[in-house]
Amino acid sequence: MNPMEWLKAAYEAFGVPHPKLSLLVVAIAGAITFGAGWMLLGHMVIRDRAAKAQTLQTVPASGAATTSGDSSPAVSGNGNTITYEQPSSDSSKKKTPPK
């Protein structure tokens, strides 16, 4: 039997003799169904956000940064955070000016 036929038979049995009570029952059933669906969607969004955050945390870092030139920063990161570092100044590499 067609679902609309079932609903029509239910309305003829309960809705015609008790229109206000049947409307109240259908409204409550609809509200419960809508609320359950809304909560289910909320749980799905929370689960998806947690999975996305976990994926973003597992992105490997780009590795050791290299730089060239005077005072040029070394840039490294993992896609979400970027670190700017000045190259370490090695005093043995610097030449002292002649006297």
Least trusted range by pLDDT, from 19-33, 34-48, 53-67: 53-67
* pLDDT higher at 2 or 39: 39
Quick check: 74 and 84 in contact, CB under 8 A? yes
Q: What is the dihedral of CA 31, 33, 37, 40, to 10 degrees?
A: 110
Cβ distance 83 to 77 under 8 Å? yes
Q: What percent of the chain has pLDDT over 70?
A: 55
- Helix extents (H) in 1-99: 3-10, 19-57
pTM for the structure as a whole: 0.47
| CA gap 96, 98 in Å, rounded | 6
